[in-house]
Amino acid sequence: MSQHSMSESATTPGWPTSGRTRLLARSAMVAAALLTTVSSNVAHNYASLQIHGYSWLRNTIGESAGQCSPAAWPGRLGLLAFALSAWLVAARRRNCRPVSALLYLGFGVAVLFTAYFPTSSWPYLENFDANADSLHEFAAALAVILASAAIAVDVEHARGRDALMNVSLFAVIALPVLGYSIPSINGALDRVVFALILVHLWRLTSDTSS
């Protein structure tokens, strides 16, 4: 066991060691990617029989996990895995980067709420839970804000020298706004943001200073 792992175990009894946390976080990220892909694929194939079809280009991951969607549970489990990966990254950073850890913890909670409060799903329903839909939109917006803030803290720590991190920060801020402005490509932009945050979290698990 590394000196850092021994220190982590000693300072907070009951927490996994650094190496185990890394493995759990990366496993959660893989699960998030696979489950949300399955959810979108099921929604797309099922929608081919519907008047209002699910489109990878137009419809978001949250919509594949939305109210009455045939792909709801894989999508919601994928979002839960996404939240878990953020919490595990926060656990790795809780001692040396408390502000960053708090932001990733909050981001994970916001993502969890997007799964717990499903959006009005595709195909768009005449009767749906408007309160859950509103809470989903609020949680999704909060997740974007917290992810942006967390990545901004990481960019500042890297002193702007990490090109991929800089691109991720710009994309996480700009693409949701662009998707809101151009609904026809909102789903594609949503997946780009999802992928960039996953890649960023994956890279953080390799950060030996966290």
pLDDT band at 151 (very low <50, low <70, confident <90, very high): very high
Cα dihedral angle (140, 144, 146, 149), rounded to 10 degrees?
-170
Task: Compare 79 and 38 and report the one with higher pLDDT.
Answer: 79
Distance from CA of residue 65 to its chain's centroid?
14
77 contacts 145 by C-beta, under 8 angstroms:
no
pLDDT band at 65 (very low <50, low <70, confident <90, very high): confident
Alpha-helix runs per DSSP H in the chain: 3-11, 18-47, 61-64, 72-93, 98-116, 130-157, 163-181, 186-204
Task: Compare 39 and 1 and report the one with higher pLDDT.
Answer: 39
Mean pLDDT, the chain, integer: 81
pTM: 0.81
Q: What average pLDDT does the segment 180-192 reach? A: 92
Say what the pLDDT of residue 38 is.
Answer: 80
End-to-end Cα spacing for the chain: 16
Say what the pLDDT of residue 3 is.
Answer: 43
